[in-house]
C-alpha cells in the first residue's frame, strides 16, 4: 500500500502477517478517508461535517447489515467483510470519526487533559483495533497500546508544528504555553524563540515518557506483528531524537526520518528485551 502521509500507526507493511493485511488495510482506508474528509482541500467546515455525518451513516449501515451509500464503496465494502470476519468493535471506529469531526471545529487545546482526550479518540482506537485482530484483550496490553498510540500522536504534533500552525491549529496546550511565556499568536506567526523551543523540549520529553511506558507491549505480540510494533516504537523515538537534534526548532523546520535512520532503529528493535526495554529505548 502506498502512503502519501505520515501516519500514527502501522499499515499493511511487509512485516504484517499476510492473513491480517486485508483487515489492517480496511481499517486504514476507513481512517484515511475520514481524515481526508475532515482535512483535505478547501471545503467549507459545514460541508465537511455533512460529509462526515454521511460517512457515519454508512458505518452504521455496515453494522446494521443494510445498504450503504454509493459514495465510498472502496471503504465500506472491505470493511463489511472485515466486520463479519473479525467483529470489529464499532465504538472504536465511531471514536475515530468523532475525533475527525472535532478537527473541523476545534483548533486549540486548553491543557494536557483536553489534548489527551483527543488522542483517546484520534489515535488510541487504532491500536485497540489492531490488538482486537490479534486476540489481545488484557487490560495491561490495552493500556500500553494507548500509551504508544498517544505518544505517536503527540510526536506527530511536535514534528508538524510548522505545518499545523500555518493552518491555524495549536496542539500545544495553552496551560503549558502560558507557563513558558509563549502566546498563541507567537506560534501562529511562527516566532521561533528560546521560550518556544523550551516548550517543545518539554513536550518531546512528555511524548518520550509515554512511548517508553508503552514499549513493553512489544513482548506481548508474537511473530512478525511484534517486530513491526518494535519498529513503530523505535521510529517514534527516533523522530523525537530528530526534534532534539535541531534544538526543538520545529516551528521553523519539520524533521523527518531518512534511510540512514533504519540501521539504528533496527538495532534498537533487536535489543528490546523485557528487562532492558526502558533503557534501550532512550536516545543515545
Quick one: average pLDDT of 208-224? 90
In this predicted model, which residue has the larger pLDDT, 125 or 14?
125
Q: Which residue has the cell 517508553?
A: 212
**pLDDT tens digits along 262-273:** 788 888 877 887
pLDDT at 266: 82
Say which residues have a Cβ less than 8 Å from residue 251's Cβ, sequence separation at least 6. 161, 162, 165, 187, 190, 191, 192, 196, 200
Give residue 15's pLDDT band: very low, low, confident or very high (50, 70, 90).
low
pLDDT at 20: 85
**pLDDT tens digits along 41-52:** 889 999 999 999
Q: Do 10 and 229 touch, CB atoms closer than 8 A?
A: yes
User: 10 Å Cβ neighbour count for 23?
Assistant: 23
Amino acid at each position: 500500500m502506498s502512503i502519501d502521509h505520515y501516519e500514527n500507526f502501522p499499515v499493511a507493511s511487509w512485516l504484517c502477517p499476510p492473513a491480517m493485511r486485508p483487515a489492517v488495510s480496511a481499517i486504514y482506508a476507513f481512517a484515511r478517508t475520514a481524515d481526508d474528509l475532515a482535512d483535505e482541500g478547501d471545503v467549507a467546515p459545514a460541508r465537511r461535517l455533512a460529509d462526515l455525518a454521511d460517512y457515519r451513516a454508512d458505518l452504521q449501515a455496515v453494522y446494521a447489515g443494510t445498504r450503504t451509500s454509493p459514495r465510498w464503496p472502496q471503504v465500506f465494502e472491505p470493511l463489511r467483510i472485515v466486520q463479519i470476519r473479525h467483529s470489529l468493535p464499532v465504538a472504536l471506529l465511531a471514536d475515530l470519526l468523532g475525533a475527525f469531526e472535532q478537527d473541523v471545529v476545534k483548533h486549540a487545546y486548553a491543557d494536557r487533559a483536553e489534548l489527551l482526550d483527543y488522542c483517546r479518540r484520534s489515535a488510541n482506537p487504532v491500536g485497540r483495533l489492531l490488538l482486537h485482530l490479534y486476540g489481545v484483550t488484557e487490560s495491561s496490553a490495552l493500556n500500553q497500546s494507548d500509551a504508544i498510540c498517544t505518544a505517536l500522536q503527540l510526536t506527530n504534533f511536535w514534528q508538524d508544528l510548522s505545518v499545523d500552525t500555518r493552518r491555524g491549529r495549536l496542539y500545544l496546550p495553552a496551560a503549558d504555553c502560558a507557563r513558558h511565556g509563549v502566546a498563541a499568536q507567537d506560534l501562529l506567526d511562527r516566532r521561533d524563540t528560546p521560550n518556544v523551543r523550551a516548550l517543545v523540549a518539554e513536550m518531546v520529553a512528555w511524548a518520550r515518557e509515554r512511548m517508553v511506558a508503552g514499549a513493553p507491549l512489544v513482548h506481548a505480540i508474537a511473530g512478525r506483528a511484534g517486530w513491526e510494533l518494535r519498529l513503530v516504537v523505535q521510529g517514534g523515538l527516533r523522530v523525537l531524537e530528530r526534534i532534539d537534534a535541531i534544538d526543538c526548532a520545529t516551528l521553523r523546520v519539520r524533521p523527518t526520518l531518512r534511510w540512514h535512520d533504519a540501521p539504528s532503529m533496527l538495532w534498537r528493535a533487536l535489543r528490546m528485551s523485557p528487562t532492558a526495554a526502558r533503557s534501550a529505548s532512550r536516545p543515545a
